[in-house]
A and B are shown apart, each in its own frame.
Chain A
Amino acid sequence: MNTENIIKTLIVKKPLKLDCGKTINEFPIAYETYGSLNEKKDNAILVFHALTGDQFVTGQNPITKKDGWWSYAVGPDKAIDTKKYFIICANVMGGCMGSFGPSHEDPNTGTAFGANFPVITINDMVNAQYNLLDHFGIDKLFSIAGGSMGGMQVLQFISNFPDKAKTVIPIACTSSHSAQNIAFNELGRQAIAADSNWKGGDYSSKDTIPNKGLAVARMAAHITYLSKKGLQEKFGRKLQEREDLKFGFDADFQIESYLRYQGSVFVDRFDANSYLYITRAMDYFDLAKQYKGNLSDAFRATRAKFFIISFTSDWLYPTQENKDIVIALNSIGADVGFVEIESDKGHDSFLLDVPDFLSALKNFLDKSYTEN
């Protein structure tokens, strides 16, 4: 497949100093846009994707042929209305959909970077994506929005560039990765490293792929995106195409079969090293630490209007962690709204058809835009 024509890429000429100390030059940022930028250039929304997302927010993803990851929220007349707004989304640095990542060729060796790719951070990701504003000649974004790791990028972006967005929408996220978050990510990374095909990260030159490890990583992570109630209602103890237990280790239960399927389709579209690097970036994320332990200081310079959204059944980034951001903002008198949406769909709620969430998102954006 010739992906060159499908993936739009900005080659960033300006050197970027990464948190790890290395400086990178002439690196690619792959992006996609939806809707059109108006003459005043005041209708742009920068959307940030989560761990396994990419720049293809809505419509059919031209690479995977599946629906874009935020198809419920983004589109004509939807919450983030493509008739009204110009939506930009970039593949994060470290990703595997065209942006600078571990599968890129290392000019020094002529083979993929693999584990020689620099360890990147959420801060590096947003600094790289900031170049898209210059590229489109946008002085100030109307909004920045994202869920999960996308929400972390939203928080980092507004703290790095306090006057570059009018409205700020972090969804189902945290300002600091918790021990539990790190633990689940480590589980995923260890599953990949335990796959003999991983080869210390150098699998592409050895023509192998650590599919099994990556699939297990995805299976474990997938459980954390759902809720106990949601799983129980959808699967319970239902058996998979069989009348009774088989007294073996095949997928007797539907939940097993479902997870195996989720793992198997994931490896077709995602790179194992990208998974390692991006989860590491999430684990390193601690916005308060960047401001000597005072999260409020991250937002002191901005006059943007915040709207924070969490979900009742999200146990990966629970309401309290989202509320901590609200508290930090209120303690400096920032303009912040907050709602916890009732949903039994777990952390994944922000990606799904959850009407209360979608209407809150739409109302906030549209009302804020009219007041512009």
Chain B
Amino acid sequence: MKNEFQVIAELIEKDKKVLDVGCGDGILMEFLKNNKNTNIRGLEISKSKVQECIAKGLTVIEGNAEKDLKQFPDKSFEYVVLSQTLQAFLNPELVINELLRVGKKAIVTIPNFGYWRVRLHLLIKGTMPITKTLPDEWYNTPNIHMCSIKDFFYFAKSRKIKIFKSLALSNQNVSIINDSNLTIKNFFADLGIFLIEK
């Protein structure tokens, strides 16, 4: 399981009810179910990924986060997880609002566009950045609303979203982001992980 999922799993206590939005092939779901006794549900847009989840015995609904989160009642999950897909939505703000409505807390991870390799790529090559976390070309990337860790910080503040914990992930290292080291973390972290509430 990738490091990001380890970090997410550590943020979730045992025996909780969790919704994994964009759960993919269900790796995180399976881990939470087996190790944290999580009552876990998934929402996934890809039919083949949904099939993979069913084959793992996971409860998954085929659907689209922008349209299908609205069927879940307010605060019906203790945590809602959104891993590296916020930037792919037409309306990320709506999705964040929905996550915070459906979940008591949300865990959102974003590929950091402020990462030094991303900046360097654009600066030196003058073409759209391609990194390990952002492997696609500009013309076929699903990512239409890229943001940096700093952007997400400012966004949360302006929307009065409480950030309980924010973590920076670079290679295998996890570190805490706070107001004083934000600029540095925004430069060195490949991925940002936020535990938020409204």
Residues of A within 8 A of B (CB): 305, 307, 326-327, 330-333, 335-342, 356, 359-360, 363-364, 367-368, 370-371
**Residue picked from A307, A330, A342, A368, most chain B C-beta under 10 Å:** A330
Chain A residue nearest in CB terms to B48: A356
The CA of A319 and the CA of B50, in the complex, are separated in Å by: 16
Stretch at the interface among B56-64, B91-99, B152-160, B171-179: B56-64
The CA of A368 and the CA of B58, in the complex, are separated in Å by: 9
Q: State whether B54 touches A363 (Cβ < 8 A).
A: yes
Question: Digit string of B76-87 for contact with A (CB within 8 Å is 1, else 0)?
Answer: 100000000000
In whole Å, how far is A364's beta carbon from the nearest beta carbon of chain B?
A: 6
Contacts of B55 in A (CB 8 A): 359, 363, 367
**Residue picked from B41, B71, B76, most chain A C-beta under 10 Å:** B71
* B138 beta carbon closer than 8 Å to chain A: no
Q: State whether B47 touches A340 (Cβ < 8 A).
A: yes
Q: State whether A337 touches B59 (Cβ < 8 A).
A: yes
Q: State whether A336 touches B59 (Cβ < 8 A).
A: yes
The CA of A336 and the CA of B59, in the complex, are separated in Å by: 6
CB interface residues, B 137-152, toward A, < 8 Å: none
4 closest cross-chain pairs (CB), A and B: A367-B57, A327-B71, A363-B55, A338-B61
Could you say which of B51, B62, B73, B76 contacts A338, with CB atoms under 8 Å apart? Answer: B62
Q: List 10 A-B contacts (CB under 8 A).
A: A305-B59, A326-B61, A330-B71, A333-B76, A339-B62, A340-B62, A356-B47, A363-B57, A367-B55, A371-B57
Contacts of B62 in A (CB 8 A): 338-340
In whole Å, how far is A81's beta carbon from the nearest beta carbon of chain B?
A: 15
Q: State whether B51 touches A336 (Cβ < 8 A).
A: no
Contacts of A338 in B (CB 8 A): 60-63
Contacts of A340 in B (CB 8 A): 47, 62
Instruction: Tally the A-B contacts, defined by beta carbons under 8 Å.
Output: 55
Known pairs A327-B71, A367-B55, A367-B56; A342 contacts B61 (CB<8 A)? no
The CA of A332 and the CA of B72, in the complex, are separated in Å by: 8
Known pairs A340-B62, A356-B51; A331 contacts B56 (CB<8 A)? no
Known pairs A331-B71, A367-B55; A337 contacts B60 (CB<8 A)? yes
Q: State whether B50 touches A331 (Cβ < 8 A).
A: no
Known pairs A339-B54, A364-B54; A331 contacts B59 (CB<8 A)? no
Contacts of A307 in B (CB 8 A): 54
Which secondary structure characterizes the binding site on chain B?
A: mixed
Chain A residue nearest in CB terms to B58: A337
Chain A residue nearest in CB terms to B39: A335
Chain A residue nearest in CB terms to B44: A339
CB interface residues, B 15-65, toward A, < 8 Å: 41, 47, 50-51, 54-63
**Count class of interface residues, chain B:** 10 to 19
Chain A residue nearest in CB terms to B19: A330
In whole Å, how far is A177's beta carbon from the nearest beta carbon of chain B?
A: 22
Contacts of A330 in B (CB 8 A): 61, 71-72
Which secondary structure characterizes the binding site on chain A?
A: mixed
The CA of A363 and the CA of B76, in the complex, are separated in Å by: 27
In whole Å, how far is B171's beta carbon from the nearest beta carbon of chain A?
A: 36
Given contacts A330-B72, A367-B54, 9 further A-B contacts (CB under 8 A): A331-B71, A335-B41, A337-B61, A339-B50, A363-B54, A364-B54, A367-B55, A368-B57, A371-B57
Contacts of B47 in A (CB 8 A): 339-342, 356
The CA of A359 and the CA of B55, in the complex, are separated in Å by: 8
Chain A residue nearest in CB terms to B72: A330
In whole Å, how far is A353's beta carbon from the nearest beta carbon of chain B?
A: 17
The CA of A199 and the CA of B51, in the complex, are separated in Å by: 51
Contacts of B73 in A (CB 8 A): 331-333
In whole Å, how far is A143's beta carbon from the nearest beta carbon of chain B?
A: 14
Q: State whether A326 touches B71 (Cβ < 8 A).
A: yes
Contacts of A339 in B (CB 8 A): 47, 50-51, 54, 60, 62
In whole Å, how far is A21's beta carbon from the nearest beta carbon of chain B?
A: 37
The CA of A25 and the CA of B37, in the complex, are separated in Å by: 49
The CA of A371 and the CA of B33, in the complex, are separated in Å by: 12
In whole Å, how far is B65's beta carbon from the nearest beta carbon of chain A?
A: 14
In whole Å, how far is A306's beta carbon from the nearest beta carbon of chain B?
A: 9
The CA of A337 and the CA of B58, in the complex, are separated in Å by: 8
Chain A residue nearest in CB terms to B59: A337
The CA of A337 and the CA of B57, in the complex, are separated in Å by: 10
In whole Å, how far is B87's beta carbon from the nearest beta carbon of chain A?
A: 26
**Residue picked from B56, B58, B62, most chain A C-beta under 10 Å:** B62
In whole Å, how far is A290's beta carbon from the nearest beta carbon of chain B?
A: 21
In whole Å, how far is B38's beta carbon from the nearest beta carbon of chain A?
A: 13
Q: State whether A335 touches B59 (Cβ < 8 A).
A: yes
Known pairs A333-B76, A339-B62; A359 contacts B51 (CB<8 A)? yes
The CA of A361 and the CA of B26, in the complex, are separated in Å by: 18
Chain B residue nearest in CB terms to A328: B71
Known pairs A337-B61, A339-B47; A331 contacts B54 (CB<8 A)? no
Chain B residue nearest in CB terms to A338: B61
In whole Å, how far is B175's beta carbon from the nearest beta carbon of chain A?
A: 36
Q: State whether A360 touches B59 (Cβ < 8 A).
A: no
The CA of A332 and the CA of B71, in the complex, are separated in Å by: 10
Contacts of B72 in A (CB 8 A): 330-331
The CA of A56 and the CA of B60, in the complex, are separated in Å by: 32
